[in-house]
Chain A
Amino acid sequence: MAVGTEVAFWILAVVSVGAALAVVLLKDVFRAALFLVLCFFTVAGIYVTLNADFLAAVQVLVYVGAVGILLIFAIMFTRETQHGSLFNRLKLPALLFAAVLLGAMIYTMTATDWTSLGAVAEPALEGLQEGGTGLTASIGEELFSEDGFLLPLEIAGVMLLAAVLGGIVIMREKE
């Protein structure tokens, strides 16, 4: 991996963890939402370091553009009764649980011998196309080919339609 990519990874990793901590710890809900948007941006950067440039663009469009705005709308609508984002009485047990889970996950991920499972230290990027399209064309072929993910893609489309209709029905004022 190139030195520039490594530096970018470390900066993005630190910023994303800091932004996620700010989301959980800040009392002001609106600031927490803004830090969540920053976290989404850094995750998009991490996708770029993983050669997933299409996903980085989709991440910015869907998360920063749609989900972030939706969350900020919801915060503004429900602002009157809020007294900030407080902790409930599970604060300490949940911290213990999260710490134990984190330890177990980090131990599992560092102790597993990924090379025996087919992992490579420096993957070859043969799917990359010339002309700067990256893996985008390959993802498109994978998604829309008959022996690829065409049926799940159609089901995802139907599910999005159902979600939109459900949101409208739930939000509608009762007569």
Chain B
Amino acid sequence: MSVGLEHYLVLASILFCIGIYGALTKRNAVVILMCIEIMLNAVNIALVAFSKYLAEDVVLLSGQVFVIFVLVVAAAEAAVGLAIIMAIYRSRRSVDPGDIDLMKG
């Protein structure tokens, strides 16, 4: 069976589920951010695969353009997220999301 759309989609879902497992279970905010990056990458693979295979005769470029926007948002998210983690680390000396309970009722 030759490699087709389904293979890329299954690869993307495997990576997405690994990312979601890490994001839910880790006790280090930096590692949670890393797992979110894995999830974004998985979605990007699915978008590029759709843009290659879901077209009758020409290559639809909308999927690849969407990936560029996802990349922009991911870069902004990494910058702001890491700045927040460092600010919290400076005031509380911890990067464990379980310790950050200021807004807990």
Contact = CB atoms under 8 A, between A and B. Distances in A.
13 contacts: A24-B18, A24-B25, A52-B67, A67-B74, A70-B79, A78-B30, A78-B85, A90-B24, A99-B17, A106-B10, A142-B62, A163-B80, A171-B87
B55 A123 contact: yes
B68 interface: yes
Among the interface residues A43, A101, A117, A135, which one has the most CB atoms of the partner chain B within 10 A?
A43
A120 B3 contact: no
Interface of B: 2-11, 13-22, 24-28, 30-31, 33-35, 37-38, 41, 44-45, 48-49, 51-59, 61-62, 64-65, 67-69, 71-80, 82-87, 89, 93-95, 98
Interface of A: 1, 5-6, 9-10, 13, 16-17, 20-21, 23-24, 29, 32-33, 36, 39-40, 43, 46-47, 50-52, 54-55, 58-59, 62-63, 66-67, 70-71, 73-75, 77-78, 80-82, 84-88, 90-91, 94-95, 97-99, 101-102, 105-106, 109-110, 114, 117-121, 123-128, 135, 138-139, 142-143, 148-149, 152, 156, 159-160, 162-164, 166-168, 170-171
Contacts of A73: 82
A149 B30 contact: no
Nearest to B87: A170
A166 to B, nearest CB: 5
Contacts of A97: 20-21, 24
Nearest to A16: B15
A71 B18 CA distance: 19
A90 B27 CA distance: 10
A163 B79 contact: yes
Secondary structure of the B side of the interface?
A: helix
A129 to B, nearest CB: 12
B78 A123 contact: no
